Structure 1
């Protein structure tokens, strides 16, 4: 068990990060024509807008929550007067709310991908696989809320934050020590999350790198009607 924990939570994250960064760079350099979202809205637009909005709002807020929960140091939370127990309650409430939004939108997108004949015919195996993997990851994440409800002292939250902290400071041995004792469902959630980084360069997820943030500061375009 110690070897498995070291492999998946001490070594695998660094391998995944390398594949994520190097793979994205190589794909952008060699296959720019494949660097796209591959939107299927033109093939079938029924309920697509609401499903896409729910999914994207939910997943973006969940990712921001994970960043705040795993990357921001717990000293910062203490400085703000938020204990680990209080932080866990916040994570359960906010994560649960946006998790439900994401689940509704993603369920609609999965159903559309699997059962709409036009969408299914134009979907690659990677398109379907990555969508189902995100769906599974979301479901497991939702189940961890119920596990968290069984221990409200914030200890698991502290262990996961410490694991992330030691990984980011290149101390994998100490990192593994903290995550070894958490529930297997958390470990599966973490493992699938890391796996998504591995698959990222080989899927349509690369479009995340191209989020059009420049539109926020772009000058307005004047569009005139035909006279």
Structure 2
């Protein structure tokens, strides 16, 4: 059972994550978007979206540092375990609170506003439920165990197992002694990766990063009066038509008198 959960499941989820993105790009490019509902409601979105995204960036960055950077590397540069623990718990708590508040506002927006609720799809509901579960498990491990509890050094067990997945040498025994909340968080993380390509989260890979180095657009004021707007072609035709008809009738009248 340990091998199934801690070896087979991660690789299966990573395979679905990769193949799902390829399938989505080839068969649903028009759906590769945020499906924004800003035009329907902007008040809660304007507050919840920045909190959620900033909190998510902080949480993802904290996970990357904790799981990918070995403890020996931070010790080699003079960062003690106590300092690392203090920084990681403080930063994780702050960014986690931002993520919780932002996600709560986005979920409330979906169900309180009738117009937003009508355009919320089944996959949106599954996505928000998965996000909420991940956030609850993550905050439980950070706050309940590491902040107010006895603490757990995941860098010696979970992080080593996680890095072993990418070296094709995962050791399931490292996860057997981890607290249940950390185990559920790890399983939920890989299941969330399998869900990713079938949700609106695919827009992450199409983020307009070029805006960061795009040159400024310079607007100059007009010193002379603006020219009169040119009439539309349809208006010109409508104006010219009665004149042409009058000229035709005039020619016919001259011909008759002759």
Q: CA deviation at 1:84?
A: 3.9
What is the CA deviation profile of residues 186-216 of structure 1, one whole-angstrom value per residue up to 9, with x for unaligned ones?
Answer: 1111111111100111100101111111111
Q: CA deviation at 1:16?
A: 1.0
CA RMSD in angstroms comes to 1.7
Unaligned runs of 5+ in 1: none
Do the aligned partners of residues 157 and 89 (structure 1) sit closer, same or farther apart at CA in structure 2, a change above 3 Å counting?
farther
Matches within 5 A, 1:149-188: 149=147, 150-152=149-151, 155-172=153-170, 174=171, 176-188=172-184
Q: What is the TM-score normalised by the length of structure 2?
A: 0.80
Q: Distance in 1 between matches of 2:123 and 2:132?
A: 14
Residue 57 (str. 1) matches residue 47 (str. 2): no
Q: CA deviation at 1:88?
A: 2.8
Q: What is the TM-score normalised by the length of structure 1?
A: 0.91
Q: Distance in 2 between matches of 1:224 and 1:123?
A: 43
Q: CA deviation at 1:219?
A: 1.9
Matches within 5 A, 1:36-51: 36-51=33-48
Unaligned runs of 5+ in 2: 227-258
Aligned residues: 221
Do the aligned partners of residues 209 and 47 (structure 1) sit closer, same or farther apart at CA in structure 2, a change above 3 Å counting?
same
Residue 81 (str. 1) matches residue 78 (str. 2): yes
Q: Which of these two proteins has the greater Rg computed from alpha carbons? A: 2
* Counterpart pick for 2:206 among 210, 214, 220: 210
User: Highest relative contact order (Cα 8 Å, sep 6+), 1 or 2?
Assistant: 1
Give SS of 2:43's match: coil
